Structure 1
Amino acid sequence: MRRIALFCLVFALGGAGGALWHDWSRFIASPILLGAEQVVFEIPRGTGVRILARRLADQGLIDRPWYFFALAYIRGASGRIKAGEYALEPGMNPLALLERFTSGRVVEYPITLIEGWTFRQALAAIDAHTVFGNQGLATLSDAEIMERLGRPGVHPEGLFFPDTYLFPRHTSPLEILRRALTRMDQLLAEEWDRRAPDLPLKTPYEALILASVIEKETGKSEERAQIAGVFVRRLRLGMRLQADPTVIYGLGARYDGKLRRADLRAPTAYNTYIISGLPPTPIALPGRASIQAALHPAGGDTLYFVAKGDGSHVFSRTLDEHNRAVQYYALDRP
């Protein structure tokens, strides 16, 4: 009789164990309870695996939080959960979920700084990004921003490389600027080392200034080197650059969208119709192509160009040729 009772007990325990194992296997292999859409799940800093399992259950993503807790310990992942936002896709099972949370592959958001923007336009774009929630970066002075970036006393214009940057939530907006600043430092150094010989540019910063003017003058990318060639020849000959974008930059808020003859005579530090050589600082964020053009200008003998109205330019060797082009494209045409 005792043998029969013992056999029944062992059989019952074995059955219960088998049922538990079956339930466990089903849990780790089955997709999480997610609809057809991807969701973003955030793990705050300091979240332990026990709290994480409970939050997953509270949000309806798993139905056995104690299983997920056990899974993390069995896989040695309980101390490797990384804070951040994670994209959860339909079809993920708890094993894939755990791998995602320990990988650090968090959701990243893009922000694009556009070639030709001014520094202030870049600040406004960063402030307007929904992830940053308008932290007031644009309300700081240039000096305050550069101080916080570790470049006290440095003028910020042109120093930030225009590109698309990816970043996770809770990134400081200053970190975006720091990355763009570092990227420009690296790229400018690389391009300066590969520059053409005998350029009338003494420093990488002068190359950056010229590149910014090229950036603002170029409507068609294939003309960058030609425009650079005109400016480089003018610098060699001691001619003034006479670049309208430098005048506009110097006018600042006074510029209303129309450049007048009086503006060309306005005495500002950036008016290259009045000053000789380069303006004192860049006037915009130049892209790599404009930096390369400044350091590898096209050869030739043209000294002038005028916009045709379609983004391209007419290049001229003499002032007479240029005046005829101006008469046709800038004055006579409707």
Structure 2
Amino acid sequence: MRKFLRKLFIVALVVLVPLTALLAARVLAPIGLARETVEFTIPPGSSLRAAGREIAAAGVEVDPWVLVVLARLMGVEASIKAGSYEITGSITPLQLLKKLTRGDFTQAELTFIEGSTFRQVRQRLDAHPDLRHDTTGLPEAEIMRLLGAPGMAAEGSFFPDTYLFAKRSSDVELLARARRALERHLASEWQARALGLPYREPYEALIMASIIEKETSRDEDRSLVAAVFVNRLRQGMLLQTDPTVIYGLGEDFDGNLRKRDLLADTPYNTYMRRGLPPTPIAMTGLASLRATLHPAPSDVLYFVARGDGSSHFSRTLSEHNQAVTRYQKGGKP
């Protein structure tokens, strides 16, 4: 019996040593690539064997069994991460496996711009080639339900920023990140707000911030624009802001705001309805949000565009009418 076991041990050595040497050679040898750069995507829920087939089909000259055996030896068979990957230049199966378990994804980016409407945001999402378009064609209400905010308006509910993401990520995931970012910023800025503001809750401040976002992009003017609207709210005056009227007109707005438009009774017509509109009218940046919650200490009630990007502010209607004549009517009474 002892002699048999000794022979069995020798046979095992004779078999295992060459196999181990072969595996080591395969694991440490550079992998051939069908192209200079090879991209592949590992779908969520893929086994390592399925991932290996996906990688090989993309043009990476590696036998899937090598990755499977190596992963089992290293105890990481269940640790590969779904996502999009890119291989350029020399890489060994061992380095590839480490890449898969680290989740060393290739990344894309998308920028949400201050002042954009949700319709414009959706257009950017749908046009991005590296996103998975799970929201395309969905009603706005369904998108908000997917984001865990049923019944919430999508307009203004996302924070403008540049977002990096793994290629083939879902647009739902990207929107969720932008929504969480807005909630963090809004909560933080609300906590640090000035005293005595006429806003009952953070959402009202967000609505006002979206108006300020559309009224001016000039940092020096934001807090004064905020002061104008705060003063009007305190005095029960109409806000009378063109961007809300334009938003309410929707696709009927042709780029030229007319007197009849100011008389069109929509929930967003602040020439006809007192107080704030029902929702934000655009995506709000941090500067406008801060200006909203920290308006300038001023008694101004009116402002008019000078034509150079800045605004002229007035305390009385008489002063304002003079400014309108000067800056918008070419000085003609």
Instruction: Please tell me the TM-score bracket, short chain as reference.
Output: 0.7 to 0.9
Percentage of pairs with the same residue: 49
Q: Alpha-carbon deviation of 1:151? A: 3.0
Give the aligned partner of residue 98 of structure 1: 97
5+ residue gaps, structure 2: 1-9
Q: 1:140 to 1:62 in 2, by over 3 A?
A: closer
Decide whether the 8 Å contact of 1:31 with 1:90 is kept in 2: no
Counterpart selection for 1:220 from 211, 218, 221: 218
TM-score (norm 2): 0.83
* Secondary structure at the counterpart of residue 32 of structure 2: coil
* Secondary structure at the counterpart of residue 315 of structure 1: strand
Q: How does 1:30-41 map to 2 (within 5 A)?
A: 30-34=29-33, 37-41=36-40
Counterpart of 1:107 in structure 2: which amino acid? T
Deviates more, 1:72-81 or 1:271-280: 72-81
* Secondary structure at the counterpart of residue 110 of structure 2: strand
Deviates more, 1:222-231 or 1:190-199: 222-231
Counterpart selection for 1:154 from 143, 152, 155: 152
* Secondary structure at the counterpart of residue 293 of structure 1: helix
Give the aligned partner of residue 269 of structure 1: 267
Q: How does 1:152-191 map to 2 (within 5 A)?
A: 152-191=150-189
Decide whether the 8 Å contact of 1:27 with 1:64 is kept in 2: no
Counterpart of 1:242 in structure 2: which amino acid? Q
* Secondary structure at the counterpart of residue 96 of structure 1: helix
Q: 1:90-128 CA deviation, whole Å, 9 max, x = no partner?
A: 233322211101112323332322211112222222222
Give the aligned partner of residue 117 of structure 1: 116
Q: 1:262 to 1:36 in 2, by over 3 A?
A: same
Structure 1 stretches of 4+ moved >6 Å = 16-20
Q: How does 1:247-326 map to 2 (within 5 A)?
A: 247-326=245-324
Q: 1:102 to 1:195 in 2, by over 3 A?
A: same
* Secondary structure at the counterpart of residue 320 of structure 2: helix
Q: 1:173-203 CA deviation, whole Å, 9 max, x = no partner?
A: 3333333223222221111111001111111
Q: 1:253 to 1:49 in 2, by over 3 A?
A: closer
Q: 1:102 to 1:333 in 2, by over 3 A?
A: farther
5+ residue gaps, structure 1: 1-9
Q: 1:255-278 CA deviation, whole Å, 9 max, x = no partner?
A: 110111222232222122222222
Q: Alpha-carbon deviation of 1:59? A: 5.0
Give the aligned partner of residue 130 of structure 1: 129
* Secondary structure at the counterpart of residue 72 of structure 1: helix
Counterpart of 1:281 in structure 2: which amino acid? T
**C-alpha distance in structure 1 between counterparts of 2:236 and 2:50, whole Å:** 71
Decide whether the 8 Å contact of 2:134 with 2:170 is kept in 1: no
**C-alpha distance in structure 1 between counterparts of 2:53 and 2:244, whole Å:** 60
**C-alpha distance in structure 1 between counterparts of 2:314 and 2:252, whole Å:** 31
Tell me, yes or no, if structure 1 residue 245 matches structure 2 residue 243: yes
TM-score (norm 1): 0.83
Counterpart of 2:185 in structure 1: which amino acid? L
Give the aligned partner of residue 86 of structure 2: 87
* Secondary structure at the counterpart of residue 332 of structure 1: coil
Q: CA RMSD in A?
A: 3.1
**C-alpha distance in structure 2 between counterparts of 1:115 and 1:65, whole Å:** 47
Decide whether the 8 Å contact of 2:40 with 2:86 is kept in 1: yes
**C-alpha distance in structure 1 between counterparts of 2:318 and 2:204, whole Å:** 30
